[in-house]
Amino acid sequence: MAAKTSRDIRDSGHKDQPLRIHIQNGPPEPDTLVLERPRLDKALRSRDALKGLEYSISVDDGGDQLPAELDAEIIITLAKIDVAKARQVAPDLKWVQTTFAGVEGMLEELPRGFSITNASGVHAEKGGEFILAAALMLAYQIPQFATDKDDKAWQPLFGPVLNTYRVT
């Protein structure tokens, strides 16, 4: 199945109106991703296809998460939300995009014409590169070099080349 685009969710009555998106940030915690208007405006200006897009932003404060009323066709959420409630506060809602992988429990029954999509696999390439880097680091005993450096010791380490290892 082809990936859904914003054009796929538009019904004939809204095609001449700007696409309306709501961004739901997760609870504000240190070192968490928060989508903020200045950065989003800058990113959107650089993409012609998204000009005229209307969006609103809210932050999960640990309460009800979503505003009492939403004029949105799409919700992009960085937090788990109650999709049934989201559909109540946003009657035109057609699509929820999460930034995480597990969406199975977000809605018991998927209504016709409604989509929930996730970010499954978005970090696969970077994760694979990290695993390769970590395996190389361990194969070449880099942690021992770091320990020796802290101990101000120089102990040459010799090991086999990688093609002598077996990965299972």
In this structure, what CATH number is given to the domain that contains residue 100?
3.40.50
- Are both 96 and 42 inside the same structural domain? yes
Q: Is residue 1 part of a domain?
A: no
Backbone φ/ψ region at 37: left (φ over 0), alpha (ψ -120 to 50), beta: alpha
Residues 150, 110 share a domain: no
Please answer whether residues 79 and 26 qualify as being in contact, where contact means their C-beta atoms are separated by less than 8 angstroms.
yes
User: At residue 147, does pLDDT exceed 90?
Assistant: yes
- Entry pTM: 0.65
Q: What is the pLDDT of residue 62?
A: 62
Residue 91 to residues 2, 5, 88, 150, 151: CA-CA distances in angstroms?
Answer: 26, 20, 6, 61, 64
Residue 19 shares a structural domain with residue 91: yes
d(CA 126, CA 54): 31
Give pairs for 129-138: CB < 8 Å, separation 24+. 135/167, 136/162
pLDDT computed for residue 5 by the predictor: 53
Residues 6 or more apart in contact with residue 51 via CB below 8 angstroms: 44, 45
Rounded Cα distance between 76 and 117, Å, is 10
22 and 88 part of one domain: yes
**Is residue 37 in a domain?**
yes
pLDDT band at 8 (very low <50, low <70, confident <90, very high): low
Instruction: Indicate left, alpha or beta for 52 from its phi (over 0: left) and psi (-120 to 50: alpha).
Output: left
CA distance 123 to 136: 20
Domain membership flag for residue 10: yes
Question: 34-61, pLDDT tens digit by residue?
Answer: 888 888 888 887 887 777 778 888 877 6
Q: What is the mean pLDDT of residues 29-37?
A: 80
Total structural domains in the chain?
Answer: 2
> Alpha-carbon Rg of the chain, whole angstroms?
23
pLDDT at residue 1, rounded to an integer: 46
Residue pLDDT, tens place only, 113-143: 888 888 888 888 999 999 999 989 998 899 9
State how far the Cα of 34 lies from the Cα of 87, in Å rounded to an integer: 23
Task: Note whether 60 and 135 are same-domain residues.
Answer: no
Residue 103 and residue 138 in one domain? no
Kindly state whether residues 106 and 135 are assigned to the same domain.
Answer: no
Average pLDDT over residues 7-24: 67
Q: Which domain holds residue 159?
A: 124-164
Report which DSSP code applies to 109: S
